[in-house]
Structure 1
Amino acid sequence: MPEVTFPGPEGRLEGRYQPSKIKDAPIALILHPHPQHGGTMNNKVVYNLYYTLHDLGFSVLRFNFRGVGRSQGEYDQGVGELSDAASALDYLQTMNPAAPQCWVAGFSFGAWIGMQLLMRRPEIVGFVSVSPPANLYDFSFLAPCPASGLIVNGLNDRVAPPEDVARLVAKLRTQRGVVISHETLEGANHFYEKGMDDMLRLVKGYVGPRLGDLSAPTTSPA
């Protein structure tokens, strides 16, 4: 689990980068929850998404937004954090110039940032949004949503209520040219204290077939 630092808009950003053993592997950026509510790149959902996508063959990067851990800067209401995410993607692309696919995955606040990054970076071909807080943030910028992806949430989520996520999905599904897959896990809350394995299984089941013939050795988190 190599520790990395790379330049961000307000100074150095701290991350963890795990390259794939596959030549010219796809790349995936994973974004963490709200910095002011304990969100870090070591959040359990983020950590498990990181290894799940690596197991599928991706070269993966997760990092701390500004002001979190050893990342420099201060919280910036999502504006600066979006710039951080763009810098992280730049770094990931520099490390993998021949990557055939680029994906973004985010959890909660990170899902909101990830969807904004999706709108600004046409090279992103797929996304995974876990528990997007559609009740707390405006997702109307997804007009239209430029890529197909997966949205997962828990039926017992009180932070991002399932009815709000369902309304977001319904809106996105009216757009032509994209397919939004949506899965709601019974018994899961916002933090997947129950249902983590089921959520990761859904991610694998969705992302894997979209990668074509890539194959990867199975690894486990240390």
Structure 2
Amino acid sequence: MSEAPFPTESGALVLDGPVGPLEVAVDLPEGEVAPLPVVAIVCHPLSTEGGSMHNKVVTMCARSLRELGVTVVRFNFRGVGHSAGTFDHGNGEQDDLRAVAAWVRAQRPDAALWLAGFSFGAFVSLRLAGELQPQVMVSIAPPVDRGWDFEGVQPPAQWLVIQGDADEIVDAQAVYRWLEGLSAPHEMVRMPDTSHFFHRKLIDLRGAIQHGVRRWLPGANG
């Protein structure tokens, strides 16, 4: 695990990942909001389809959380950008997330860990939810019908799921059926007339994320 210090300003850094360097971006809270003791790791969509930490849904998720006072960590899975390695069908990518989470917890031990992910990133983060025990999880368009193994995922009790009704890549109805079959509590947000990449709906996504997680922020009920 890398011993790189947690930055005091937003910016990029490199961690020692399982197969070499991992490219990371840390986004500190927006200027006028009080920083909260929360660090959210946001995972990007499928690497082989051009997914990266710069994806517009990922960056909007990061912005949404930053505006609430949450510190956000984005990173490129292996084989993307300046991260070493090659695509590993979600297995090695889980190791990448483990490494980033271990670094966050070592550097910010007093902060609550949140996990978020979009599409393939939702799959990777959900696979590790039981192990990493995040306080809050945000899953955007989880690809439950795309051949990934969602069996036995253990999301936390504070779990927000956002799905576009007009998703052309992930079958929205499959997502709704999957959620209905789970015993895990969750908050479901269905976004009408919304495609997989939230074209013309990014501001609505921002509102859905902020409304969904606001009550889970430290001190929200105090």
Per the normalisation by structure 2, the TM-score is 0.88
Contact 1:24 1:98 in 2 (8 A): no
**Identity over the aligned pairs, expressed in percent?**
31
From 201, 207, 210, the equivalent of 1:204 is 210
Aligned residues, how many? Answer: 207
Distance in 2 of aligned mates of 1:15 and 1:146? 25
Rate the CA distance shift 1:74–1:170 in 2: closer, same or farther, 3 A: same
From 57, 62, 66, the equivalent of 1:54 is 66
Letter in 2 for 1:191: F
In structure 1, the partner of 2:175 is 165
TM-superposed CA distance for 1:193, in Å, is: 0.4
Distance in 2 of aligned mates of 1:22 and 1:120? 30
Distance in 2 of aligned mates of 1:165 and 1:88? 28
TM-superposed CA distance for 1:139, in Å, is: 1.1
1:72 lines up with 2:72 in the alignment: no
1:25 lines up with 2:37 in the alignment: yes
In structure 1, the residue corresponding to 2:135 is in which secondary structure? strand
Distance in 2 of aligned mates of 1:53 and 1:80? 27
Report which stretch shifted further, 189-198 or 103-112. 189-198
Paired residues for 1:68-217 under 5 Å:
68-99=80-111, 101-122=112-133, 124-136=134-146, 137-142=148-153, 144-172=154-182, 175=183, 178-213=184-219
TM-superposed CA distance for 1:23, in Å, is: 6.0
From 51, 70, 86, the equivalent of 1:39 is 51
Letter in 2 for 1:179: P
Structure 1 spans left out of the alignment, 5+ residues: 215-222
Per the normalisation by structure 1, the TM-score is 0.88
Could you say what the CA RMSD is over the residues aligned between the two structures, in angstroms? 1.6
TM-superposed CA distance for 1:194, in Å, is: 2.6
Contact 2:122 2:141 in 1 (8 A): yes
Distance in 1 of aligned mates of 2:35 and 2:191? 35
Distance in 2 of aligned mates of 1:128 and 1:205? 12
- The Cα offsets for residues 95-131 of structure 1, whole Å up to 9 and x where unpaired, read as 31211x2110000000000101212112x11110000
1:11 lines up with 2:20 in the alignment: yes
Distance in 1 of aligned mates of 2:140 and 2:35? 28
In structure 2, the residue corresponding to 1:150 is in which secondary structure? strand
Structure 2 spans left out of the alignment, 5+ residues: 1-9
